[in-house]
Amino acid sequence: MASIFVPEGSVPILHHYPMSPFAEKARLMLGFKGLDWQSVYIPSVMPKPDVVALTGGYRRTPILQIGADIWCDTALIATVLEHLKPAPALFPDAVKGVARIVAQWADSTLFWASMGHNLGPRGAAALFANQPPEAAQTFAADRGAMSSGMTRVRPGDAASAYRSYLRRLAHMLHGQSFLLGDAPCIADFAAYHPLWFTRHLVPPMAGILEATPEVLAWMDRMAAIGHGKPTKLGASDAIAIAAAAEPAPLSPEVFQDDHGIALGSRVTVAAESFGPETTEGILLAATRTHYTLERHDERAGRLHVHFPRVGYVLREVRA
């Protein structure tokens, strides 16, 4: 695992909102680690001025803040939490490679199949049942902008794929409590969160889970992990924490240059597909696992913003 420096005694700050499935993944990982953490609620749709003050443009949920370091994407957040508290392990040595592969599949293929099923007409109506009509319209427009250019699967086709994937998860659980053994790992947290959305946020769509009782029992075991020890924090307070801090020292890891872009160059980083907003800054590090950009914000001060390499596009800003 690549070295990430996290100062001893750091209290992570999670910027999230309750119905975000990827935030549920992060909340549950924090609970698994038994960590004290601070909880900042953010809007589910744009504008998100307090988030952008920290990230410079990236707006997907959640983000993890430790002082003046901002960690984007739950794949990278999981690695940070592993360095913050190594045990219990999200990446056990015996299954580290396969766990990452299953997690990447779950965060992409499984997630989008589930959402195609979850947010069909009945699911969307259930999700916004107690909100004014404009809330659903605003959410749909926001997510439409985030997914511009993506191919979206129709609800019926998504349901067919989702059923197949649920059966595969059930097969993995045969004779064991979790996907890759007797203890949860990153594969479990990645596979759980889209199913959590189905079960808890769109109950009319949750019948699809009933054909796989092994999966339902596993979901109960995952839910029992809980969210650890969160305390509420205001967004302005989180920004003040960043402004008062200095970014942590960077790992002395070897620079992996796959783009012909030198360290110190002005660059942008953006997700390959969903959420195309860019973050611009100075490229400080490009390790085998992640990029680090330095940027300055008038409210948050000097920041290091970190992105995974997998799933993100690095481009040089040319004058």
| pLDDT for res 7 | 79
**CA-based Rg of the chain, rounded to a whole angstrom?**
19
Q: Residue 260: what pLDDT? A: 96
Q: Cα–chain-centroid distance for residue 35?
A: 17
Give the DSSP per-residue string, 55-94. Answer: HSS---S-EEEETTEEEESHHHHHHHHHHH--SS-SS-GG
Q: How far apart are CA 293 and CA 266, in angstroms?
A: 9
What distance lies between CA 174 and its chain's CA centroid?
28
pLDDT recorded at residue 88: 98
Model confidence over 242-262: pLDDT tens digits?
999 999 999 887 789 999 999
pLDDT for 254: 78
The pLDDT of residue 92 is 98
pLDDT computed for residue 9 by the predictor: 79
The mean of the pLDDT values for the chain is 95
Of all residues in the chain, the percent with pLDDT exceeding 90 is: 86
DSSP state of 204: G
Span 11-15, mean pLDDT? 97
Asked if the model's pLDDT at residue 2 lies above 70, the reply is no
Q: Is the pLDDT of residue 210 over 50?
A: yes
Q: The pTM is what?
A: 0.96
- Report the range of poorest mean pLDDT among 76-85, 222-231, 247-256: 247-256
Three-state DSSP at 183 gives coil
Compute the distance between CA of residue 245 and CA of residue 14 in angstroms, rounded to an integer: 17
